């Protein structure tokens, strides 16, 4: 991978130059947007109980999840995961606008936007100590919370889905869509691989779809990565030690993702309903939020290339793959325009007027 070696070398020289010149590298990193406390905290709470302990998840929801009231009008639930900034309020408004653009589904759709907070968010907003919080990037890969109990972000999603699977509360629910953009797309793609809730939902007659929009990276099932000529070949660990480590590969996977062998996770993933939404203009190799680690760059130069390569990888391994991929023309790294596009509406709501534009 000549491209990877050159970029890694250049990155190293740039970092050395910044240090020699006295540039406050660490200070600049501390000012990165995702390191700042969130501006708004979601207004609802859901208790998450696991064998490891209990914590409270912050979230937005159009209908109360914490009550036992029957919601007989709900036929679809759309769960949207925010990006690396943890700005659930922004994604909440985007989800609401997307629902308004699908008027036939609006009255019968429940919207949920969980918020994966950090210690800095709790301190800045003086939140209760039982509020779940993760490390800055740990929630993107399903890692355990830092407090009040080691609960995986995947277990938090499980808790939401367990509420929705309650037929006494949601007797008419037939479809759940879990969508994520950017960092949220990373959560959804990994959860689509290792998530444990689908069997329970299927037993209740509820279909589950995963919508993966513009993530920086994907979970691969072996050491092969895309080459410049469009083929795939193993990337030696000595040239990039993290290339096959979680969340890019399986080494060091969290406990939640070790319940089955990777081969079984792969078999299960390839028959799940997954829709990939790729921004046609998300092609900036220097985007400030793009994963520029060697493991990230081993997947391609930018998000559009990485998404296309990953789907090609899966199709080579599974020619029968039926998962959909749609490129949203003219849209870059923009969650609202991705989810609110014709392809986004088709994926989230099966919007009839939008589906032809995405074939």
Q: What is the DSSP string of 94-127?
A: HHHHHHHTSTTTGGGEEEEEEE-B-HHHHHHHT-
Q: What is the mean pLDDT of residues 241-265?
A: 96
- Round to the nearest angstrom and report the end-to-end CA distance of the chain: 34
Domains, the chain, in order of start with CATH, read 32-358 (3.40.50.1820)
Residue owning tokens 């991929």? 325
Asked whether the predicted pLDDT for residue 239 surpasses 90, the reply is no
Question: pTM for the full model?
Answer: 0.90
Q: Rounded CA gap, 146 and 28, in Å?
A: 25
pLDDT-derived band at 357, boundaries 50, 70, 90: confident
Q: What does the block give as tokens for 193? A: 């691989």
Cβ atoms of residues 21 and 13 within 8 Å: no
Higher pLDDT, 29 or 294: 294
Cβ atoms of residues 139 and 124 within 8 Å: no
pLDDT-derived band at 246, boundaries 50, 70, 90: very high
Question: What was the pLDDT predicted at 352?
Answer: 66
Nearest Cα neighbor of 308 from 246, 230, 247, 222 is: 230
Q: Rounded CA gap, 92 and 94, in Å?
A: 5
Question: What was the pLDDT predicted at 353?
Answer: 67
Angle between helices 153-164 and 183-194 (to 10 degrees): 70
Rounded to the nearest integer, the mean pLDDT of the chain is 90
Q: Rounded CA gap, 215 and 225, in Å?
A: 16
Q: Summarize pLDDT for 118-149 with one digit per residue, the tens.
A: 999 999 999 999 999 999 999 999 999 999 99
């Amino acid at each position: 991978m000549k491209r990877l070696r050159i970029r890694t070398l250049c990155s190293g020289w740039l970092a050395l130059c910044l240090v020699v010149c006295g540039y406050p590298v660490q200070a600049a990193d501390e000012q990165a947007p995702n390191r700042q406390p969130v501006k708004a905290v979601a207004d609802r709470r859901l208790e998450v109980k696991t064998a490891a302990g209990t914590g409270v998840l912050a979230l937005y929801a159009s209908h109360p999840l914490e009550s036992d009231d029957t919601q007989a009008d709900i036929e679809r639930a759309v769960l949207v995961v925010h990006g690396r900034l943890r700005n659930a309020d922004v994604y909440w408004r985007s989800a609401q606008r997307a629902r308004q653009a699908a008027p036939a589904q609006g009255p019968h759709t429940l919207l949920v936007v969980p918020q994966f907070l950090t210690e800095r968010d709790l301190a800045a907003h003086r939140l209760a100590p039982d509020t779940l919080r993760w490390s800055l990037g740990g929630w993107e890969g399903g890692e355990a919370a830092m407090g009040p109990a080691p609960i995986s972000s995947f277990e938090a999603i499980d808790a939401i889905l367990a509420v929705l699977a309650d037929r006494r509360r949601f007797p008419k629910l037939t479809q759940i869509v879990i969508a994520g953009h950017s960092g949220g797309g990373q959560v959804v793609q990994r959860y689509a691989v290792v998530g444990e809730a689908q069997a329970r939902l299927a037993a209740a007659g509820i279909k589950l779809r995963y919508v993966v929009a513009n993530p920086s990276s994907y979970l691969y099932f072996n050491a092969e990565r895309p080459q410049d000529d469009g083929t795939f070949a193993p990337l030696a660990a000595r040239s990039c030690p993290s290339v096959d480590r979680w969340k890019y590969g399986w080494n060091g996977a969290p406990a939640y993702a070790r319940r089955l062998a990777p081969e079984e996770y792969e078999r299960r993933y390839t028959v799940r309903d997954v829709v990939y939404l790729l921004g046609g203009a998300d092609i900036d190799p220097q985007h400030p939020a793009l994963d520029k680690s060697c493991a990230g760059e081993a997947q391609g130069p930018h998000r559009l290339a990485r998404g296309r390569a990953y789907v090609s990888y899966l199709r080579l391994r599974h020619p029968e793959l039926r998962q959909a991929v749609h490129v949203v023309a003219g849209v870059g790294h923009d969650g609202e325009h991705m989810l609110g596009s014709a392809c986004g509406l088709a994926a989230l709501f099966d919007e009839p007027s939008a589906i032809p534009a995405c074939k």
